[in-house]
Chains A and B, each alone.
With several copies, the nearest count.
Chain A
Amino acid sequence: MIFTVVVHASPCQNAAPESALRFCKALLSAGHTLHRVFFYRDGVFNGNQLISSPPDELNTMRAWQALAEEHSIDLVICIAAAIRRGVLDSTEAKRYEQNQTNLAEKFNLSGLGQLVEACILSDRVITFGGQG
């Protein structure tokens, strides 16, 4: 089956991104297809390159990157949510006159249309969110 996973919460303060990661790994192990992971709302912080985690803790951002590397997963960050929250690639940094960037490799900024398109093309859509 074709799955899309939606993440609404930031890592660190919320368990939802880690649950989403485990779910993605489990569905890939079962032979299903992961069409896309879509990061919305505070979920966009999952793609912040500048995150560093203590050695004995999971770095969710790096775990997403490793997953994308191994399985060619499409990691899409909602561009409108990302600009409001300050998660920028070099194109957006230029547009908003910032001289630094922080979007991690393997993540891409794109519009909400990518969420709706994923709903259309996937057999199952599952959201991992938190309070707020």
Chain B
Amino acid sequence: MNAPKNILLMSRRAPYGSSAARDLLDIALTCSVFEQSVALLLLDDGVLQLLTNQDPQVIQQKNLNSLQSSLSLYDIEQIYVDADALTHHGIRHSELHLPVTLLNKVEISQLIANSDVVLTV
């Protein structure tokens, strides 16, 4: 058995306009099932995936907030957010649905550097 890898899942996409946010979560849950160390990194419009109060039933889509809430059940706790992107959108940390770690640009580049595999969605 190989040692667990550090898999980083990265997304820059807003939710619902495309399926990227949901597809990212599906990979994350699968990584967890395979007992890999998985981290999520949300950049640019990707930070919008974490806004609270989502109500996508009105456009007949699954609620991402509910899926996000299940991440901790799978021991996925490393959720990293680009602090500059939050500022860019004028969103406060408290308006996010999950506990996250804010990173600056240098920390983001180090997170990428320290990962074994990076998957983009």
Specify the chain B residue showing the minimal Cβ separation from A4. B117
Interface residues of A (CB under 8 A from B): 6, 8, 12-15, 18, 22, 40-41, 56-58, 80-81, 111-113, 115-117, 119-121, 125, 127, 129-130, 132
Inter-chain contacts of B61 with A (CB < 8 A): 57-58
Q: Is B106 in the interface zone, CB < 8 Å from A?
A: no
With A13-B18, A15-B16 as contacts: A57 and B60 at CB distance below 8 Å: yes
Of B26-34, B68-76, B85-93, B97-105, the one contacting chain A is B26-34
Contact B120 A129 (CB under 8 A): yes
Interface residues of B (CB under 8 A from A): 2, 5, 7, 16-20, 23, 26-27, 30-31, 33-34, 36, 59-62, 117, 119-121
Contact A18 B59 (CB under 8 A): yes
Specify the chain B residue showing the minimal Cβ separation from A13. B19
How many residue pairs between the two chains, A and B, have CB atoms under 8 Å in the bound complex? 66
With A13-B18, A15-B59, A56-B62 as contacts: A113 and B34 at CB distance below 8 Å: yes
Contact A41 B33 (CB under 8 A): no
Inter-chain contacts of A117 with B (CB < 8 A): 34
Instruction: Give the CA-CA distance A64 to B67 in the complex, in Å.
Output: 28
Instruction: Say whether chain B's binding surface is mostly helix, strand, loop, or mixed.
Output: mixed
Contact B117 A58 (CB under 8 A): no
Out of B2, B23, B31, name the residue touching A121 (CB < 8 Å): B2
Inter-chain contacts of A130 with B (CB < 8 A): 17-18
Q: How far is the CB of B116 from chain A (nearest CB, A)?
A: 8
Among the interface residues A15, A57, A127, which one has the most CB atoms of the partner chain B within 10 A? A15
Inter-chain contacts of A120 with B (CB < 8 A): 2, 5, 34, 36
Out of A18, A58, A113, name the residue touching B30 (CB < 8 Å): A113
Q: How far is the CB of A44 from chain B (nearest CB, A)?
A: 12
Contact B26 A8 (CB under 8 A): no
Instruction: Give the CA-CA distance A80 to B111 in the complex, in Å.
Output: 30
Instruction: Give the CA-CA distance A18 to B60 in the complex, in Å.
Output: 9
Contact B120 A119 (CB under 8 A): no
With A8-B121, A116-B31 as contacts: A57 and B26 at CB distance below 8 Å: no
Out of A12, A15, A80, A121, name the residue touching B26 (CB < 8 Å): A80
Inter-chain contacts of A80 with B (CB < 8 A): 26
